[in-house]
Structure 1
Amino acid sequence: MYALIRRRFYNPAQLFISSFMGLIIAGTLLLKLPIALHQPLSWTDALFTATSAVCVTGLVVVDTATHFTLIGQLFIMLLIQAGGIGILSFAGLFTYFLKGGSSYENQLAIRDFSNADRLGEVFTLLKRTILITFSIELMGALCIYMTLGGESSTQSVGERVFFSLFHAVSSFCNAGFSILPRGLMDDMVILNYSFQFVVAVIYIFGGLGFPIVINVIKYVKHLFNRLLKKWTSRENFYRPWVMTINSKINLITTAVISIVATFVIYINEFNNVLSVHDGVGKWIIAFATATTPRTAGFNSVDFAALHFSSILFVMLLMWIGASPNSTGGGIKTSTFAVAVLNMLSLAKGKERTEIFRREIATISIQRAFATMFLSLMVIGLAVFCISFFEPSRPLLEIAFECFSAYSTVGLSLNITGDLAQGSKIVVVLLMFIGRVTMLSVLIAFVKKVRYVHYKYAPEELTIN
């Protein structure tokens, strides 16, 4: 039996997908326990909530603050944590620590999702991932706790600690869950700009991606050593390419999108949803509103009240999403950047896509466009299905919900709880596919062809 399972799940994509499915099933059962609930919860809503937590989406059909007990909220936080880091990472680390190592086969499977350059780096990267996650979450929880002022005076110290830890985990994992009745729009925190800014910083870190954060830390260490050598021995301690091309592209894309989006939201919503804020507070809420669609899902404003143009812009931000190998979703910033660079190369008449004196590999360009096409195909099919179940619902609301679910964002135009049973199932499937990616689903179930040593003659097609 064991040998059969090993043969069946040798494909790392199959292992990845089945791990998430198992975690969702376990979460559904936990959330149905009487100790987790203040009020009865249907199996569909339990499945929806568990999927939203594991897939770090944040869409909710019931109020997390009032429907679940402290134990239920703890279950949700643990599901978010496991889903954010990736159950495959946990499985690999448990194997490593409990058995004193891991098989070559398991390391190959984990390497496919960690993007380590060498096989020996696989578990080093996974251990660093866990260390970075817990370190940032603990620092984030401490910062959140320090921002809580008189508005939380009715809470005990224990309640403040849990509140801080829950929101730190939810922020870093880009889950968007909150134990406040109205999320970040709640009267307790809506004008607490320090809290709003800290939460935004935490989910931006979570959306960068573990390899990028590790690479940035390595680059900062290099700069420090270089300055130290220069001051002490007057030597030029320089190492080229400490910052990888992958990190540069994703960091620049993230920065540009965040800055542009903040200005767009600030200008477009100045006299609308931002009118209740003044001065620096208006900029902070604009910044939070511009960055949360990149799969964080916290609602500092009522997104249903945004101008139509802002809603369309938010849908674009949700589709792009966060960086690869992060807790966020979407097509990823690197995919968007590669598509733009390839478009510019075609416009210039260049045969290769180049950046920073390096050529982007053909396989990366193929993956980028496959990811974009598959995402739009899946989202379009979901829009069709929900429109079939609820023909009277406005198309904009359905499209926004589908983009949010596929990109694991968690934002909504306030329709999630009112969806029909069939629509909820569609959204559950959409959240799951968005988290594991449609490309992984295809890799898991489409049989790979054998490598061949011949090559057909190329032929150009009429495209434009």
Structure 2
Amino acid sequence: LVVFVQKVFKYTMVIQGISTVFLMLYWVREYSFIKALGMGLFFSASSFCTAGFSVFGDSVMSYSSSAYINLVLLITSYLGACGFFVLYDLSMYFKNKLRKEKEIYRLSIHSRLVLVITFCLLFAGTLLVYTFENLLNPVGHQESLLEAFFQVGSASSTVGLNSTDISHYNYSSLLVLMMLMFIGASPSGTGGGIKSTVFAITLFSLYTFLADRKQMTFFKRSIDNKTIARASSISFLAFGWFFLTLIILTISDPELSFIHLAFEAVSANACNGLSTGVTASLSDLGKFVIIISILIGRVGPLVVGYSLIGRTERIDFEYPKGNVLIV
């Protein structure tokens, strides 16, 4: 545990330090050295910890056309969101490559799954949002693609920064962002959501059942049933709490748009912070529910479920099997 904490501290300091330098080099052209350094420190911590705080009144909308700022913030947030186990795995992999050691270091199945799922979600989400927004409101090709890329990355990593006013997004784009926020980041990372691996296991468990396979496999490795059950439980509990949150919000704030309330509920559950601008208009009850959702989202629905139900005594015998009709 001590070694792990030391590595977490090391990776955090190194990544935030490098991010601070890159951001400072950009802002030193606009501000004094001290202010540029302070802004670099602030945004590097905000993005790596997926906090989403900004010193500007419009998040980072003033830099929506700056590929440099967008990429630095997104890369930093994804490094925090991917999880420290993945960071350790990648560091060992590249060390092995640089040293040209005879024994090849292979990435763990967890790291490979996280990297593949993260890339697929980012690519598919960007393509969908870019397409939907161009169909509704055509804008400059390069800027529109950059905005879509940043907003999808912000939703997926749960950093919560926005480079454009998403309250103007059409419902299709908002639904894509909601799905990405619900899935969220990866285990042992700084982000929220049900986690990318939970989404992948839940999705592939459905495929395994429909394909009538005996076991679920990733990269020629089988996944045990207990892991599948935990992933399914997390997905069910998270969706159930989101649904309950949404019901309460529609009762407490019936004058607000349903899609905007749903967006607020998902954002709170995923500890994201993205908003369509209706948070301040929520009633006291609505704001209280959002706060509780953020806390539950941070602790985790499975942990909350364990604390409410508790562990039951293990039974050393089995009951006879019974058949129940499903379809």
Q: Name the TM-score class by shorter chain.
A: over 0.9
Residues 158-193 of structure 1: per-residue CA shift (max 9 Å, x gap): 22211111111010011111110111113xx23322
How far apart in 2 are the matches of 1:356 and 1:458?
A: 34
1:161 aligns with 2:161: no
2:103 to 238, 249, 258: 238
Post-superposition offset of 1:372: 0.8
- Determine if contact 1:273/1:302 at 8 Å carries over to the other structure: no
1:288 to 126, 150, 154: 150
1:444 aligns with 2:307: yes
Q: Residues 355 and 461 of structure 1: is their aligned pair in 2 closer, same or farther, counting only changes over 3 Å?
A: farther
1:177 aligns with 2:41: no
Post-superposition offset of 1:297: 0.8
Q: Residues 415 and 348 of structure 1: is their aligned pair in 2 closer, same or farther, counting only changes over 3 Å?
A: same
Normalising by structure 2, report the TM-score: 0.94
SS in 2 for 1:270: helix
How far apart in 1 are the matches of 2:320 and 2:198?
A: 29
1:137 aligned partner: 16
Q: Residues 458 and 220 of structure 1: is their aligned pair in 2 closer, same or farther, counting only changes over 3 Å?
A: farther
Identity %: 25
SS in 2 for 1:269: helix
How far apart in 1 are the matches of 2:165 and 2:38?
A: 26
Paired letter, 1:174: T
1:408 aligned partner: 271
- Determine if contact 1:273/1:305 at 8 Å carries over to the other structure: no
2:199 aligned partner: 336
Gaps of 5+ in 1: 1-121, 230-236
1:263 aligns with 2:127: yes
Post-superposition offset of 1:273: 6.3
- Determine if contact 2:64/2:147 at 8 Å carries over to the other structure: no
1:195 to 46, 62, 69: 69
SS in 1 for 2:182: helix
Gaps of 5+ in 2: none
SS in 1 for 2:20: helix
Post-superposition offset of 1:248: 1.1
How far apart in 1 are the matches of 2:147 and 2:141?
A: 10
- Whichever of the two has the greater Rg, that structure is 1
Post-superposition offset of 1:447: 2.5
- Determine if contact 1:329/1:409 at 8 Å carries over to the other structure: yes
2:91 aligned partner: 217
Task: Give every structure 1 segment of 4 or more consecutive aligned residues whose post-TM-superposition deviation is greater than 4 Å.
Answer: 271-274
- Determine if contact 1:185/1:301 at 8 Å carries over to the other structure: yes
SS in 1 for 2:53: coil
- Determine if contact 1:324/1:334 at 8 Å carries over to the other structure: yes
Paired letter, 1:292: S
Deviates most, 402-411 or 156-165: 156-165
1:208 aligned partner: 82
- Determine if contact 1:345/1:353 at 8 Å carries over to the other structure: yes
**Higher normalized contact order (CA 8 Å, seq sep 6+, divided by chain length):** 1
How far apart in 1 are the matches of 2:322 and 2:2?
A: 44
Paired letter, 1:148: W
Paired letter, 2:37: V
Post-superposition offset of 1:437: 0.8
SS in 2 for 1:410: coil
- Determine if contact 2:65/2:146 at 8 Å carries over to the other structure: no
Post-superposition offset of 1:239: 4.4
Q: How does 1:324-363 map to 2 (within 5 A)?
A: 324-363=187-226
Residues 46-104 of structure 1: per-residue CA shift (max 9 Å, x gap): xxxxxxxxxxxxxxxxxxxxxxxxxxxxxxxxxxxxxxxxxxxxxxxxxxxxxxxxxxx
Q: Residues 160 and 149 of structure 1: is their aligned pair in 2 closer, same or farther, counting only changes over 3 Å?
A: closer
Post-superposition offset of 1:348: 1.3
- Determine if contact 2:19/2:76 at 8 Å carries over to the other structure: yes
Q: Residues 170 and 349 of structure 1: is their aligned pair in 2 closer, same or farther, counting only changes over 3 Å?
A: same
How far apart in 1 are the matches of 2:322 and 2:84?
A: 40
Q: When the two structures are aligned, how many residues end up with a matched partner? A: 326
Paired letter, 2:152: A
